[in-house]
Amino acid sequence: MHDAGAGVVHGHAHQFDDAEQQYEASSLGMWLFLAQEVLFFGAVFATYAYYSFLHTDAFEAASNHLSLTLGTINTVVLIASSLTMVFAVHQAQHGGKRAQIGWLLATMLLGTVFLGIKAYEYTHKFHEGLVPGALFTYSGPDAPQHQLFMCLYFVMTGLHALHMIIGIGILATLCVLAQRGWFRAGYYTPVEMTGLYWHFVDLVWIFLFPLLYLIGRH
Amino acid sequence: MIGRFSLFPEQASTVAGQIDAIYFFLVAVSAVFSLAIAAAIVVFAVRFRRSKERQVIPTWEGLLSLELTWTIIPFLITLVMFFWGARVFITLRTPPENALQVYVVGKQWMWKVQHVEGKREINELHVPVGRPVKLVMTSEDVIHSFFVPAFRVKQDAVPGRYTSLWFEASKAGEYHLFCAEYCGGQHSRMIGRVIAMEPAEFQRWLSGSTGTTGNPSSMVSAGQQLFEQLGCATCHQENSGARGPNLAGLFNKQVALLDGRSVVADEAYLRESILNPQAAVVAGYQPIMPTFKGLVSEEGLLQLITYIKSLQAADAAPDAAPAVKTHATLQGSEEQG
Amino acid sequence: MTTTETTVSDAHGASGVNYLNADYGVRSWLFTKDHKRIGLLYLASITIFFALGGLAALMIRLDLLTPAGDLVGDETYNKLFTMHGVVMIFFFLVPSIPAVIGNFMLPLMIGARDLAFPRLNLASWYIFNLGGAFALWSLLSGGVDTGWTFYTPYSTMSSNTNVISAAFGAFISGFASILTGVNFIATIHRMRAPGMTWGRMPLFVWAMYATSIIFVLGTPVIAITLLLMILERAFHIGIFDPALGGDPILFQHLFWFYSHPAVYIMILPSMGVVSEIITCFSRNRIFGYSFIAASSIAIALLGFLVWGHHMFVSGQSVNAGLIFSFLSMVVAIPSAVKVFNWTATLYRGSVWLQAPMLYALGFIGLFTIGGLTGLFLATLATDVHLHDTYFVVAHFHYIMVGGALMGYLGAIHFWWPKITGRLYPEGLAKIAAVIVFLGFNLTFFPQFVLGYLGMPRRYHVYPDEFQILNVLSTAGASILGVGYLLPLLYLVWSMRYGPKAADNHWGAVGLEWQTTSPPPTNNFEQTPVVTGEPYDYRDPVEVKDVA
Amino acid sequence: MSQRAISIRTYLIIFAALMALTAVTVVSAHVDLGRGNVVLALIVAFTKAVLVITYFMHLRYGTLISRGVLVAGVLAVALLMFLTIDDLRTRDTRTYLPFVGALDGVRPPIAPVPPHPPLE
């Protein structure tokens, strides 16, 4: 959605009557895309909810495989990246080109930190023999359900990480465009749309964290 | 009956009549509405056909009262369908307590049936007339579906759980048994027969043993009957294109195996090949023979071996090891895609 | 009457510059941002897929001539019906009207110069073809034999055909429809011509809006379902594997949560087309405009509530069965309301039985039968007997082939003068429509009888007593095949040799008929202003007889 | 572009609120409330989500249709979850007996066939 309707750099695309209509259309298009993403992650959450209803105790026990501290740090990192993203959009609104690029880079940095922690967690699971499939060596009680939990863990956090990587890619292109002066006070739609996308990815993690990490702690 | 063309299936179970009644009600409603719509279209198309001189004055573009009528009336009709269907469905899904229990296991492309008294069948189910029968079903691999059109009953056999289905045969006879959930290569061959018998006859069948072990001729005939019943004939045929090695004249012959060994086909080899076919696969054949351990009693094993020993080579067929099959007719289900 | 200030250029499209001759060369087509050209690109892609799926259908019907199925072996038959299912549903029916007629006509009908996101529209076509390439690859390298439903555990643990590339093809083509859905909703909301309130929008636009709701809310769920299935098959992890406590029935829930609304994706556009054709060819205002528009939205929203009626015998609970059966009854009502309103539109009109009208009336007749037989499958007791039999096959073919495909052919014929500026041969088109109608009924009506007799679907070998009805069905299929070949021939012929079409050949009142045929690249010289209501055929527009 | 900028101060307040809610959810996870834990976690997650959507994503000034689209998405997910779990919850043991962790007394009568030991 990052190139939505930005046909002509400073005016508006030929199919729109004015810039306001273009902005409204881009915003609605982005919200539609996010609704579709809600369903995309929603289906995986539904699978998780179904199985946690079927194997409640096993899933709570399996949740203890995950390290709570890393999960909490990641949540803080991601909410902070949402804050820096909001500042970037704020600066774009007010035409502060240098500050805007600075906040965009900060957001990318926090995103990379998040992915780094995630990568560390994955390798840690790999060494513990918790990766589902052939490498699954955990043989405690309810081992099959633990493998099922780990399947869902990797699918959900993997999808989320993939969206993070795409988000960082878009942020990088935004930095380049901002550097070339594409955006000014009157026209900053791509920055705001990327902001919406980034906040959505943060929202997914806000739901992922309690459902995966916190269910077995009591 | 099986094999006779008819436009309507037999009613052979107590619930068949009720389901057919709902079916005819639905057919009647559909016929009325379809014909009414078709007639209206034809009449309007002819009566109001386009003609040069007539000035077209559209008079009305909507009548709320008409819209409400053709919303509420169809809804009431569908409510009748729903409640009637639901009532019969609930009776279909609550097995009576005194039902005769039979276990059914769906396995890729055969139905394995086991009566509580220990009698086992493949692709066949003998049931008494007039007494409810409850099938407790599961599947060893993929989803299958136990479907007897004449009884109007169907239930999926899902791996990893039991599902159950009940019916009460009301008419003696032989009826089709189909697998209704797509389950792979020979989904359409996973069929069989449900034989409803009078209770006395059923008791005799249930307790009757499959031939005495005493005299060999009855052993050979019992063996042959078991050979057919267990489905061995489908693979071990005379023609060269068969999926299983040809058994005629096999006894006491040298057999070349897939792993290079070569053994003499004695009783132990035959017994082992029946119980654990993977242990000694003949060269040039796919290891697809299912194990019959637990499906054939010791007595049945002896009858089968006696029958195989009685098969003479048809003629002086060269006993060289059969050429390796270039094109496996039945794709080996072992290699993963 | 929509009074528009556009001065209809007197050069009737022939010598004037239009979207077809504005630019030449392969680059101008492959990198076009013009919604009209993208519509034609989609037309080309889905025609190829339709031919592929149709070929598979013919092979299946020929093989079923004999109870022993002598034409092809078991595995090949399974691969044939899977290809027929996957190609016809994911690569023809779902995109057919929205991506071809919707892309072309939506901006014209609401007086816009183009869709909201032209580049996304082109990306959608490329993504669709990428998905198609994966599906073709799975076909060429040996085919897939899981059925278009990909049920686990067969698709993940037992089938050794290339399931992954076929499922990945369907996964990618899903994103093409999501982009189309996003594009349509944004365009309808933000880019309507001045004066075109929601109450003055053509009913085809309402249908596109309802379809796009399902595109956006339904397609991601099938994307995830196929992704989970692919992951389970590729890495042998057990998401739906019963041994790990997984549940194959959950796969069915997720699959049908999209796949039932998907059948409404396939039928709603055709309903929109029929509303346009019925009003134009009976010169009459639509009967119950607000009821038809509301019905489209109701079908789209209620369509999400009913998916469980595919699983009455699959181990789903009795309680859930009751809920889904009741909701399935409710969803049938809006469709019935539409059929009654269309029939009422013919009353006191001036019915002109041209080819598009024949397809529209055929649609109403066959869709009525299709809809009513759906009630057999929504009613719990009869569905236990009828599930997974040929009754179901007949039901959904009456909806998809009798309904969606007839609507698609009607749309192609109705807007052909506008799209190409040429006229197709009317006489031949009427003959083809009748052939299609007769061939269709002969193919699928016997299957209702077969279904109640208990012949299961997807059977390569069947008992002898079903042979007569299968032979009838195959005979019908060959007639249907001829019926579909004719339009392909004379429409392609008419592109070059057809007589020139006037701007408003049928004398219709939609905004798309106010501009030239074929329309200029920017659709309108000036944006039209809509003042009247959509189907106002009050004063008779003299209609030139076809030469 | 209609100026709808939200002040920096508001953003910081929202950020602080999100941090606090995260702390709450992590701490409350260690307290055993039985089923209450999941409910509380979801409530907190939803409040955080509402905060992010209204302030960070400017839906506060968004159009009606944008809000409607988001609500439709959430409702569709809720519908999917509700009806699938309702099906699972009401499966009647007479027609559906899961092997895994099912009634321990029921030993599957048809024992899965163990491979026959090779004849010595």
pLDDT at D54 over 80: yes
Is B touching D (3+ C-beta pairs, cut-off 8 A)? yes
**Any domain includes D118:** no
Tell if the CB–CB gap between D97 and B162 is shorter than 8 Å. Answer: yes
The whole-number pLDDT of residue B292 equals 76
Looking at the fold, whether D4 and D44 belong to one and the same domain comes out as: yes
D21 and D5 within one domain: yes
Q: Does C250 touch chain A (CB under 8 A)?
A: yes
Query: Searching chain C, which residue's CA lies closest to the CA of residue A47?
Result: C250
Answer yes or no: is D14 within a domain. Answer: yes
User: In angstroms, rounded to a whole number, what is the distance separating the alpha carbons of residues A18 and A24?
Assistant: 10
Residue C399 and residue C406: Cα distance in Å, rounded?
10
Task: Check whether residue D13 and residue D56 sit in a common domain.
Answer: yes
| B252: alpha, beta or left? (left if phi > 0; alpha if psi -120 to 50) | left
Q: Which residues of C touch A15 (CB under 8 A)?
A: 107, 112-116, 118, 191
HSE-CB at C80 with a 13 A cutoff on CA atoms is 22
Query: From the list D6, D56, D72, which residue is nearest A199 (CB)?
Result: D56
Average pLDDT of the residues in B251-259: 77
Over residues C118-134, the mean pLDDT reads 96
Domain boundaries, chain C: 37-513
The whole-angstrom distance between C319's CA and the closest CA on chain D is: 6
Over 80: is that where the pLDDT of C545 sits? no
Whether D27 maps to a domain, the answer reads: yes
Q: Does B118 touch chain D (CB under 8 A)?
A: no
Instruction: Kindly list the residues from chain B whose CB atom is less than 8 angstroms away from the CB atom of residue D97.
Output: 161-162
What does the mean pLDDT of chain C come to?
91
Around B325, how many Cα atoms within 13 Å sit in the side-chain half-sphere?
19
Helix (H) or strand (E) holding B192: strand B192-197
Q: Mean pLDDT across the stretch B227-249?
A: 76
Relative orientation angle of helices B216-229 and B298-310, to the nearest 10 degrees? 100
> What's the pLDDT score for residue D111?
37
Is D87 in contact with C318 (Cβ distance < 8 A)? no
- For residue C305, pLDDT beyond 90: yes
Residue among C349, C453, C363 nearest C403 (CA): C363
φ and ψ at residue C527, rounded to 5 degrees:
-65, 125
Band (B114; pLDDT cuts 50, 70, 90): confident
Are residues D39 and D4 located together in one domain of the fold? yes
d(CA C139, CA B241): 27
The pLDDT confidence band at residue B294, using thresholds 50, 70 and 90, is low
B41-59: b (≥16 Cβ within 10 Å) or e: beebbeebebeeeeebebe
Q: What angle do CA C91, C254, D83 make, to 5 degrees?
A: 140
Nearest chain A residue to C526, by CA: A17
Please list the ranges in chain A whose pLDDT falls under 50. Answer: 1-9
Contact at CB, D87 and C189, closer than 8 angstroms: no
pLDDT tier, C527 (very low <50, low <70, confident <90, very high otherwise): confident
Supply the pLDDT for residue B160.
Answer: 79
Chain C neighbors of D75, CB-CB under 8 A: none
Q: How many CB pairs under 8 A join A and D?
A: 139
| Residues of chain D in Cβ contact (below 8 Å) with chain C | 65, 69, 72-73, 76, 79-80, 83-84, 86-92, 95-96, 99-101
Q: Are D95 and B164 within 8 A, CB to CB? A: yes
Average pLDDT over residues C426-432: 95
Give the angle C257-C263-C267 at the CA atoms, nearest 5°: 145
Mean pLDDT calculated for residue range C21-32: 90
Q: Collect all residues of chain D within an 8 Å Cβ-Cβ radius of residue C304.
A: 76, 79
Q: Do D77 and A82 touch (CB under 8 A)?
A: no
| Whether C228 and A47 lie within 8 Å, measured CB to CB | yes
Residues D41 and D8 in one domain: yes
Distance to chain C for D54, nearest Cα, Å: 21
CATH hierarchy code of domain C37-513: 1.20.210.10
Q: Which of D65, D86, D92 sits opposite C318 (nearest CB)?
A: D92
Of B114, B160, B275, the CB nearest to D116: B275
D50 lies in some domain: yes
- Per-residue pLDDT tens for B199-232? 999 988 888 754 333 344 455 677 777 787 777 7
The pLDDT, as a whole number, for residue B286 is 77
Return the pLDDT at B56: 57
Contact at CB, C287 and B60, closer than 8 angstroms: yes
Q: Is the pLDDT of residue D115 over 70?
A: no
CA–CA–CA angle C151, C157, C163 (5° rounding) = 65
pLDDT value for C22: 86
Nearest CA in chain C to B69: C337
Residue percentage of chain B with pLDDT more than 70: 79
- The answer to whether position D3 is within a domain reads yes
**Tokens at residue D50, please?**
């509402």
Q: Is B261 left (phi over 0), alpha (psi -120 to 50) or beta?
A: beta
Q: Which of residues 40-99 of D touch A (CB under 8 A)?
A: 41-42, 44-45, 48-49, 52-53, 56-58, 62-63, 65-66, 69-70, 72-74, 76-77, 80-81, 84-85, 88-89
Residues in chain B within 8 Å Cβ distance of D119: 268, 271-272
DSSP secondary structure letter of residue A10: S
Query: Poorest-confidence range of A88-92, B280-284, B297-301, D20-24?
Result: B297-301
**D5 or D72: whose pLDDT is higher?**
D72
Same domain, D22 and D76: no
Rounded CA-CA distance C361/C367 in Å is: 10
Residue span of the structural domain in which D75 resides? 63-96
Contacts with B, C 416-455, CB within 8 Å: 449, 452-454
* Cα–Cα dist C67/C191, whole Å: 57
Do C and B touch (≥3 CB pairs < 8 Å)? yes
Spatial contact of C179 and C120, defined as CB atoms under 8 Å apart? yes
For chain B, domains (ranges, CATH) are: 1-46+65-208 (2.60.40.420), 216-310 (1.10.760.10)
Burial of D63 (0-12, 13-18, 19+ CB in 10 A): middle
Interface probe for B, chosen from C278, C286, C313 (most Cβ of B below 10 Å), is C313
Cβ pairs bridging A and C (under 8 Å):
125
For tokens 């905060």, name the residue: D51
- Of B230, B275, B288, give the one whose Cα is nearest residue B112: B230
* Residue D42, in any domain of the structure: yes
**How much is the mean pLDDT over chain B?**
80
- D115 part of a folded domain: no
- Chain A, 29 to 88: residues with Cβ < 8 Å from chain C are 29, 32-33, 35-37, 39-40, 42-44, 46-47, 50-51, 54-55, 58
Q: Please answer yes or no on whether C213 and D100 come within 8 Å at the CB atom.
A: no
Q: Which residues of B touch D95 (CB under 8 A)?
A: 93, 155, 163-164
**Calpha distance B30→B45 (Å, rounded):** 22
Q: Which of B99-103, B264-268, C468-472, C533-537 has the highest mean pLDDT?
A: C468-472
pLDDT in the model for residue C348: 85
CB pair distance less than 8 Å for A19 and D57: no
Banded pLDDT at C15 (limits 50, 70, 90): low
For B335, name the nearest residue in chain C, comparing CA atoms only: C160
Confidence of residue B126 (pLDDT cuts 50, 70, 90): very high
Residue B176 contacts residue B2 (beta carbons within 8 Å): yes
Question: At what angle are helices C35-63 and C467-497 packed, to 10 degrees?
Answer: 150
- The residue-averaged pLDDT of B313-321 equals 40
User: CB of C71 within 8 Å of any CB in chain B?
Assistant: no
Sheet arrangement for strand B100-107: B120-122, B110-115, B100-107, B133-139, B161-167, D96-98
Confidence label for B61 from pLDDT (cuts 50, 70 and 90):
low
Q: Are residues D20 and D35 in the same domain?
A: yes
Q: What is the pLDDT of residues C376-407, one digit of tens each?
A: 999 999 999 999 999 999 999 999 999 999 99
| Residues A181, A187: Cα–Cα separation, whole Å | 11
Looking at the structure, do residues D67 and D39 belong to the same domain, yes or no? no
Provide the percentage of residues in chain D whose pLDDT is more than 70: 72
Asked whether residue D23 falls in the same domain as residue D56, the answer is yes
Is the C-alpha dihedral spanning A134, A138, A139, A144 positive or negative? negative
Those residues whose C-beta lies under 8 Å from the C-beta of residue A169, and which sit 6 or more positions away, are none
Rounded Cα–Cα distance for residues D93 and B19 (Å) = 25
Q: Assess whether D37 and D74 both reside in one domain.
A: no
Q: Is 50 exceeded by the pLDDT of residue D50?
A: yes
- Do β-strands B124-128 and B262-264 pair in parallel, antiparallel, or remain unpaired? unpaired
Percent of chain C, pLDDT > 90? 80
Say whether A34 and D37 touch across the interface (CB within 8 A). no
- Concatenating the DSSP letter of every residue in C257-310 gives HHHHHHHHHHHHHHHHHHHHHHHHHTT-PPTTHHHHHHHHHHHHHHGGG-GGGG
Helix (H) or strand (E) holding B105: strand B100-107
Give the one of C221, C250, C317 whose C-beta lies nearest to D92's C-beta: C317
pLDDT of residue B54: 59
Q: Are residues D4 and D46 in the same domain?
A: yes
- State the chains in contact with B (3 or more Cβ–Cβ pairs under 8 Å): C, D
pLDDT in tens, A25-61: 999 999 999 999 999 999 999 999 999 988 888 899 9
Architecture of domain A19-213: Up-down Bundle (1.20)
- Chains with ≥3 Cβ pairs under 8 A against D? A, B, C
* D18 lies in the same domain as D69: no
Angle at C123 between CA C119 and CA C126, to 5 degrees: 145
Residue D34: pLDDT band with limits 50, 70, 90: confident
Residue A4's pLDDT is what?
Answer: 39
- Check: CB of residue B147 under 8 Å from CB of residue B179: yes
Number of domains in chain D: 2
Instruction: Count CB-CB contacts under 10 A for residue B204.
Output: 11
Q: Per-domain residue ranges for chain A?
A: 19-213
Q: What is the pLDDT of residues B256-272, one digit of tens each?
A: 887 777 777 766 677 77
Cβ-nearest to D87 among C242, C304, C317: C317
Residue B177's beta-bridge partner residues? B192
Cis, bond preceding C425 (omega within 30 deg of 0): no
Lowest mean pLDDT among A22-26, B212-216, D27-31, D86-90: B212-216
D98, B138: Cβ pair inside 8 Å?
no
Residue A5's pLDDT is: 39
**Residues from chain C contacting residue B336 (CB–CB below 8 Å):** 160
